[in-house]
Amino acid sequence: MNRMRSEIFAELHQPARVWAVASVHGEVARLRAVHDHIAANSEPADRLVYLGNFLGRGPDVFGTIEELLDFRAQFLARPGVEPWDIAHLRGAQEEMWTKLLQLHFAPNPLEVLDWMLGEGLGATLAAYGIDTDDARQRCKEGTVALTRWTNDVREAMRRHDGHDQLLASLRRYAITDNDRVVFVSTGLDPERRLGEQGDTFWWGGNSFERIEGPIGTIQRAVRGYDRLQKGVVETDWRISLDGGCGFGGALVAACFTPDGAVVDMVKA
């Protein structure tokens, strides 16, 4: 395939295998254990995809971002690895963070904020020293006060090297360059083209279970988060890797061939 590199999706070029890491949700100790396994079992020309939702819910969101950055540097130090061989996908938690920074545009900001906090975003705010009660007060004070607050939130992340840049690099999906395996955060509608999925990638979890055959050339779809928390579920055409990390369960990572066969799996 001869595609231009995209800011929308990640193409995994000539992978020997692809490691896919499910939703972390701020569980840095589990992420370190998964990284240790990947480091010990990687082969030349392996690629690495994080399936979104690194932020939110868990006890150490800040440490999780630091660990992602540290392991990225370690993985890049291997001979022949290029920056585009590692992909970080946008999940619901990262999408909510983006929307949080635009909260001053919302017609009902307090309602939106409370919904996001209920979805686990409070752990990310706490990681950067942001008080949720202060956020609610700013929502009540009006657009000017809320604009200042969102600017303060943005600056709180920018003070930490690499954090803002990592979130700015997120892709909607990743796909092997033979177009046979696609990696998403949460959802994939088998009746729509990849370019037409929109926010289905992070919000459309129900659509994923409708995959009962190939989607064009795609032979297998891989996701990292299941809102219904059914655990690891594998069929011929799709696999959900969510072991419940952030909800008391394990962090799961799996290693795939370019045709979608699972050759290794780790649960931490």
Q: Does residue 216 fall inside a structural domain?
A: yes
- The residue range of the domain holding 138 is 95-163
- Kindly list the averaged pLDDT for each block of 10 residues, start to end, along the chain of length 268: 68 96 98 98 96 95 98 95 96 97 94 95 95 91 93 95 96 97 97 94 94 96 96 97 97 97 98
Among residues 163, 181, 199, the one where a domain terminates is 163
User: Do 76 and 141 belong together in one domain?
Assistant: no
Q: pTM for this one? A: 0.95
Among residues 132, 163, 194, the one where a domain terminates is 163
User: Do 52 and 74 belong together in one domain?
Assistant: yes
Here the tokens at position 239 are 């696999």
User: Do 32 and 83 belong together in one domain?
Assistant: yes
User: Do 50 and 83 belong together in one domain?
Assistant: yes
What total number of domains does the chain contain?
A: 2
